[in-house]
Amino acid sequence: MAQESSIKSRGPISAHPVISAVITILTIAVVFFAVYVPLYARITPKVGDFPFFYFYLLIYMPVVSLVCWIIIVLRGRVTR
Amino acid sequence: MSNVNYTTFTIVVVLFLIVTLTGFAAARWRRAEDMMHLNEWGLGGRGFGTFVAWFLLGGDLYTAYTFIAVPAAVFGAGAVTGFFAVSYTIIVFPIALIFLPRLWSIARTHNYITPADFIRGRYGSRGLSLAMAVTGIVALMPYIALQLVGIQAVLTVMGVGTSSANTYVKDLPLFIAFVILAVYTFVSGLRAPALIAFIKDTLVYVMIIVAVFYIPTRVGGWGHIFAAGQAHLKAISPVTHKPTGVFVPTTGNSQLAFSTLALGSALALMVYPHAVTGVLSTKRRDIITRNMALLPLYSLMLGFIALLGYMAVADKTTVANVKKAGGNAQLAVPYLFQHLFPSWFAGIAFSAIVIGALVPAAIMAIASANLFTRNIFKEFFKPDASPRLETKVSQWVSLVVKLGALLFAVELPRTFSINLQLLGGIWILQVFPMIVFGLFTRWFHRWALLAGWLAGEVFGTIAAYKVATPTTSHWAGSTDLEFGHTVYIGLSALILNVAIAVILTVVFKATRVPEGADETLPHQYTADPEHAPEPAPATVGIGTAGE
């Protein structure tokens, strides 16, 4: 009980530093891997007939969706 | 009308009529006790769940102009000017996940209806709130007009009105469509686009799924589509004496342009007033977060819509038709559909684009009207306006906004509307600090934010004016050279904006310039009130603290 009230009084980020750090890293990473174009700005390897550049951006969307879900679940734990 | 394919035309008309009836029926959907309140008319009762919000936000953010302009940009210039849109709709959701739930919570707690309401309450500044309202309205007008450009592209390819030289006769179908849109938005408010979004998105998904599987079989497969796109973009343009476009951005400058366009546009998208309107119409905080994980599905669709540009390049008839139409790349997708789809399915695809224009146009008009009513009319002219009067003003202003957009689309050259929309993106990005920073900190001084906003707007507008190509002397794009690097003008203006806001905040704090009253409390930014707040009494204005 005392621990619970101490967590509340410390604020969600300081009470859950590891989860908060994971959320921050995931958010930065998911944006970075989309805007850092040198990572994927090439034609090969082709996936099927799709040049790598186009395949990467298309396949990245479900990945972003998944990462957003993970962030939401983790945030739920922090704010609970 | 001699060139009209009547099967296509009939399907478009029938689907338009269904949408019209749906728009009027929406007034009875989730019927409110009293529609004459902005929470009801302007925000759909603030009661939409995950499912409705997904359609509404998707219908709001992915507009008809997206379906026309993104593949047109890929058709004309390739990855940097076209495919960056895919990248930006990827990153917009993780970024929005950081701040939108806080905006929802504080707006729900204080009954804020517009983003400028929040700014008024947070900084106690009528000037800053006015800056937000004016920027929002000015940025949305050309955006609405461009929805009409999308409809015009479809009508042109369908051959509707092309036989007349008179602008008003030629655009009569456009006038009729917009009058009907204006009337059902007036009656049903946000409920109309929310309900129509179901039809719009279903049609768009059907259209794109069929296009992705069917068109490649008609034009030689995906390998041929990409090869045709690459060859087309590699060809030297006789006008610029440079390659036509960029297939994959491999040089440092093209990569930086791509990245900054994606990042800047992502930051701007969710501070557009129509996006905020969609967000504030939801009933719980977790609906926003859930939708940030679900909305990337739309981005996947957008990725394939962008690739329609290369499909158009791979289809010789479409390329010839575009050339015949004066090289207007906006017609590439409609011509592609007209050539490759059977008439009845071309009708469905065209309907998807037309209806895809009506949904965002309605939400944008409502958002603009709410800004005017709450942050200009009530704030400066009628502080004691009752909720009923507010709603009436909003209803009429939404009509005026649509009429203005219609005149924009009909009277101004098409390229001017497009340039204004690009400018709109640069302008709206400059309100990012006052909204998003304000959701996390009250450190920034209100006048410093105002000065930063002004500097960003002036710099962005002048920089955009100076962008020239061999064929266009001004407003030729939204990227520019800064210190030898090609970057999105909106983002460089934002950096200037923030730098000025930081420096002046330090100065104003040191000189103890009054900071204005903050009516919000820290715990309200994470609150999740079950019920929408009761409307404030007519005699008490929102955000009266401060000045």
Question: Running along chain B, 547 residues long, what does each successive block of 10 average in pLDDT?
Answer: 81 92 87 83 90 88 81 87 86 93 95 96 96 95 85 86 66 83 90 91 91 94 94 86 88 90 92 94 92 87 92 94 88 93 94 90 94 96 94 94 83 68 90 97 96 97 87 80 88 97 97 94 89 52 35
What are the sequence ranges of the domains in chain A? 2-79
Task: Say yes or no for a CB contact (<8 Å) between B300 and A30.
Answer: no
- End-to-end Cα spacing for chain A: 15
Q: Residue A45, preceding bond cis, omega within 30 degrees? A: yes
Whether the complex's predicted ipTM is more than 0.95 is answered with no
pLDDT of residue B169: 67
pLDDT of amino acid A24: 93
Report d(CA B485, CA B500) in Å as an integer.
22
Distance (Å, rounded) from C-alpha B73 to C-alpha B425?
Answer: 16
* A 40-69: CB under 8 A from B: 41-43, 48-51, 53-54, 57-58, 60-62, 64-65, 67-69
Question: Of B154, B150, B191, B241, which Cα lies nearest the Cα of B55?
Answer: B191
C-alpha distances (whole Å) from B356 to each of A34, B86, B148, B161, B363 are 27, 18, 10, 21, 12
From B248, B235, B225, select the one nearest B312 (Cα to Cα): B225
Q: Average pLDDT for residues A26-47, to the nearest whole number?
A: 93
Task: Tell me if A41 and B263 make a contact (CB, 8 A cut-off).
Answer: no
pLDDT of residue B519: 95
Which alpha helices (H) appear in B430-488, and where do they start and end? Answer: 432, 438-440, 446-466
Please give the pLDDT value at position B307: 94
As its CATH architecture, domain B6-415 has Up-down Bundle (1.20)
Cα of A17 to nearest chain B Cα, Å: 17
Position B163 scores a pLDDT of 63
Q: Where are the alpha helices (DSSP H) in B271-329?
A: 273-280, 285-294, 296-314, 316-324
HEC assignment per residue over B392-418: HHHHHHHHHHHHHHHHHHHHCCHHHHH
A-B Cβ pairs (cutoff 8 Å, strict): 99
Residues in chain B whose beta carbon is closer than 8 A to a beta carbon of chain A? 79, 83, 86-87, 90-91, 93-95, 97-98, 221-223, 225-226, 230, 247-250, 255, 258-259, 262-263, 289-290, 292-294, 296-297, 299-300, 303-304, 307, 526
Find out whether A61 and B296 touch, Cβ atoms under 8 Å: yes
Helix axes A52-79, B84-110, angle to 10 degrees: 20
Query: What is the rounded CA–CA span in Å between residue A29 and residue B7?
Result: 50
Find the largest Cα–Cα distance for chain B.
Answer: 73
Map residue B48 onto helix, strand or coil.
strand
Kindly report the CA angle at B488 between B487 and B491, in degrees rounded to 5?
105
d(Cα B283, Cα B46) in Å, to the nearest integer?
A: 5
Share the mean pLDDT of chain A: 85
CB contact under 8 A, B90 and A34: yes
Mutate to test the interface with A, among B50, B86, B90 (most CBs of A within 10 A): B90
Inter-chain contact B91–A54, Cβ cutoff 8 Å?
no
State the amino acid at position B81 in one-letter form. T
Mean pLDDT, rounded, for A44-73: 93
Domain ranges of chain B: 6-415
What 3-state class would DSSP assign to B469? coil
Q: What is the DSSP letter of B437?
A: I
Query: CA-CA distance, B125 to B515, in Å (whole number)?
Result: 9
C-alpha separations of B536 from B139, B326, B381 in Å: 29, 55, 18
Task: Tell me the nearest-neighbour CA distance from B309 into chain A, angstroms.
Answer: 13
Of A36, A53, A68, the CB nearest to B292: A68
- Contact indicator for B37, B370 with CB cutoff of 8 Å: no
To test the contact with chain B by mutation, choose from A23, A24, A36, A37 the residue with the greatest count of B C-beta atoms within 10 A, namely A37
Q: B interface mutation test: which of A9, A47, A57, A70 has the most B CBs within 10 A?
A: A57
Contact B250 A31 (CB under 8 A): no
With 60 as the cut, is the pLDDT of residue A2 above it? no
Which residues of chain A lie closer than 8 angstroms to B225, CB-CB?
49
Query: What is the model's pLDDT at position B539?
Result: 38
Are the Cβ atoms of B262 and A41 closer than 8 angstroms? no
Q: Nearest-CA neighbor of B532 among B27, B185, B34, B9? A: B34
**Residue B213 main-chain phi, psi, to 5 deg:** -90, -35
Distance between CA atoms of residues B135 and B457, nearest Å: 9
| CB neighbour class for B470 (10 Å; exposed up to 12, middle 13-18, buried from 19) | exposed
Cβ distance B95 to A31 less than 8 Å, yes or no, reads: yes
Query: Is residue B116 within 8 Å of residue B296, measured between CB atoms?
Result: no
pLDDT of res. B420:
73
Dig out the tokens for B381 from the structure: 């002219």
pLDDT computed for residue B244 by the predictor: 86
pLDDT of residue B340: 95
Residues A39, A17: Cα–Cα separation, whole Å:
30
Tell me the chain A residues in contact with residue B292 when contact means C-beta distances shorter than 8 Å: 68, 72
**Is B307–A54 a contact, with Cβ atoms under 8 angstroms apart?**
yes
Neighbours of B381 (CB within 10 A): 9
